[in-house]
Amino acid sequence: MKGGGFRIYAICYLIFLYAPIIILPLFAFNDATVIAFPLSGFTTKWFAEMTTQPALGQAVKNSLIIAVSASVLATTLGVFAARASTRYDFPFKGGIMGLIMLPLVLPEIIVAVSLLVVLLGLGVNLSILTVILGHVLICTPFTIAILSSAFQSLDRSLEEAAYDLGETAVSTFRLIILPLVMPGIISSLLISFTISLDEFIIAFFLAGTEVTLPVYIFSQFRFPQAVPVIMALGTILVGMSILLLTIAEYFRRRGLARSGAKDTGGFL
Amino acid sequence: MELGSRWDRFRRSEAASGYMLVSPTALYAILLLAAPLGTIILYSFLTDGYLEIVRTFTLANYHEAWTNELYRTVMLRSLGVSMAVTLVTVVLAFPVAYFVSFHVDPSRKSLWLFLITIPFWTSYLIRVFLWKVILGFNGVVNSGLMGLGIIDEPLTFILYNVNAVVITLAHAYAPFAILPIFVALEKIDRSLLEAGQDLGESRFMTFLRVTLPLAMPGVIASVLIVFIPTIGDYVTPQLVGGPEGRMVANLIQLQYLKLDNYPLGSAIAVSAMGIVTVVSLLFLFLNRRYLKGPKS
């Protein structure tokens, strides 16, 4: 076995990383209102109880609308910026791309309060729409990171061949480039969807009276008797995001294989 | 005539195509990121009046943010927590990145990276809440240790204080720290390591004198990518920090949503960002020799 000591350490580290996710389903199926050990018995009633809460249904609906819109918009903006930065050189490219990528490191609370101040100053009513605006801002850098590697691995000569055969810039993009980067686009849609669905702070500040799923979950933490239902909900959410990420990873790798690039791993 | 042809040439140039393509995204970032950031900087110099913002220039908000005992304590604590989280995260992450880069079969590297990133993408709120369960009075750690007979009474210093905030944030930002270090390690030419050992260095000395300096750009990137966002984290201090673990984001939220004092809230936010920027630049300056790239 290669790297004995390191391997044991890395496995312990993975256990540390997965500890909360492993514990989550234990409490989702535990027949007790108190979230503590020892466990008392098996039940599925918390899952059944989820369906009796209309506020939860509304939150899920809001979150889905926000996540779908934000991921489509962010990926569209990401395609433009990733294509521009990988294909062309222009003055102030570093500064412009730096500004676009800034939300990657900027604390989300800063994004949230600055948008809040401006939107209220302009007299815009807080709603689902304002949350979408904020989420597009934080998802775009991730889409650019994914899409840049997809565009980077494109062979320039394919594009030149299309021009030589009489295609215009637009038809070349549609017929040659788009199909080649499609796996990257799907992967970027899925990642943005996951980020938006999970985002709390911006939704907390910008949603007004509308409630998104994380805002709903956060409000329920105040009521101890509501927590087992949240554990059941969390189990479903974690299962779903693992599924989405696995699909995203599959497309990302297929995209790399299609353009013949070396896999450097990871989304980030 | 001259001007017209120059414009024509620009329009067909590479720069123009680049600007055309980047403009939708750039405009979005300017309107919804740069302009709002500018606005809170502006607000931080205004006065909070009853029901409206008074448009007179003042430094009073900064004076309040920097001299008020409460705000100063929270600001210093946030800085301390961020630094501790960064140190713990990067030190714990380095061996994992090293293992994946140097000891994992190339065909399985992306599987390992995928396994490392999955927890990062799963519901942040619920993960933080579960740390409360793990560290709590009847939690996993306490019942485990009591079951093994190591302790007689539940440990209380691990929840609702700064320790809990550091543990939870270190968990949340782990993948952020591993990936940049991994990328830097992957770039290292393996023949340099062989050369080091051929020249009679021990494996450990080769690591210290060849691998580590070459991995430093990755380490520096992880430090910044963990340090900058953690200082503004709201959820973790709110859920597991208790009254002694409040951080600057909780203060900003209080000023904006509860006390409705936008100018003071903005001054605190701008101060926090200023401190983060200064510390980051200082850190980059101290490590500048690793960032110059290969010597020619």
Assess if residue B163 is contained within a domain.
yes
Host domain of residue A202: 44-259
Q: Please answer yes or no on whether A249 and B130 come within 8 Å at the CB atom.
A: no
Residue A38 lies in a domain: no
Residue A54 belongs to some domain of the structure: yes
Any domain includes B131:
yes
In this structure, of A63-67, B88-92, B147-151, the range with the lowest mean pLDDT score is B147-151
A92 is a domain residue: yes
Render pLDDT for A10-31 as a digit per residue (tens, 0 to 9): 899 999 888 888 888 888 888 7
d(CA B276, CA B229): 9
> Is A137 an interface residue toward B (CB < 8 Å)?
yes
Structural domain span for residue B127:
68-290
Instruction: Tally the C-alpha atoms within 13 A of residue A194's C-alpha that lie toward its C-beta.
Output: 30
Note whether B104 contacts A: Cβ–Cβ < 8 A: yes
The pLDDT score that the predictor gives to residue A268 is 43
As a residue count, chain B comes to: 296
Of A153, A172, A77, A125, residue with least CA distance to B30: A77
Q: For chain B, say whether A20 makes contact (Cβ under 8 Å).
A: yes
Among A253, A78, A268, A262, which residue's Cα sits nearest to residue A153? A262
- Residue B235 in any domain: the answer is yes
**Residue of A109, A156, A163, A262 to mutate, interface with B, max B Cβ within 10 Å:** A109
* pLDDT, tens only, A107-142: 889 999 999 989 988 888 888 999 999 999 999 999
Query: Chain A residues with CB inside 8 Å of B171's CB?
Result: 16-17, 20
Supply the ipTM of this predicted assembly: 0.82
Q: Measured between alpha carbons, how far is residue B195 from residues A246, B213, B254 in Å?
A: 40, 15, 58
Tell me if A221 and B129 make a contact (CB, 8 A cut-off).
yes
Domain assignment present for residue A59? The answer is: yes
Q: Torsion over CA of A121, A122, A123 and A127, rounded to 10 degrees? A: -100
The pLDDT of residue A3? 64
As a whole number of angstroms, the distance between CA B296 and CA B292 comes to 10
Does residue A60 form part of some domain?
Answer: yes
Contact check, Cβ <8 Å, B29/A218: no
Rounded distance, CA B250 to CA B246, Å?
Answer: 6
Residue that the structure tokens 């510390």 belong to: B279
Nearby residues of B174 by Cβ (< 8 Å), 6 or more positions away: A13, A16, A17, B89, B92, B93, B116, B119, B120
Number of domains forming the structure of chain B: 1
**Residue A227 belongs to a domain:** yes
The count of domains in chain A is 1
Query: Cα A231–A233–A234 angle (5° rounding)?
Result: 60
Q: Cβ(A92)–Cβ(A185) under 8 Å?
A: no
Cα separation, A248 vs B96, whole angstroms: 24
Indicate whether B62 belongs to any domain. no
Q: Is A77 on the interface with B (CB under 8 A)?
A: yes
Looking at the predicted structure, is the pLDDT value of residue B14 above 80? no
Please give the Cα distance from A63 to A1 (Å, whole number).
46
Q: How close A229 comes to chain B (CA, Å)?
A: 12
Contacts of A96 in chain B (CB under 8 A): 22, 26
Establish if B151 belongs to a structural domain.
yes
Averaged pLDDT, B268-289: 89
Q: How many CA atoms lie within 13 A of B227 on its CB side?
A: 25
Q: Note whether residue B18 is domain-resident.
A: no
Choose among B32, B122, B252: nearest Cβ to A137: B32
Mean pLDDT across A139-167: 86
Q: Is B254 on the interface with A (CB under 8 A)?
A: no
In a domain, residue B30? The reply is no
CATH of the domain at B226: 1.10.3720.10
Residue B35 counted as domain residue: no
- The answer to whether residues B139 and A26 touch, using CB atoms and an 8 Å cutoff, is no
pLDDT at B2: 57
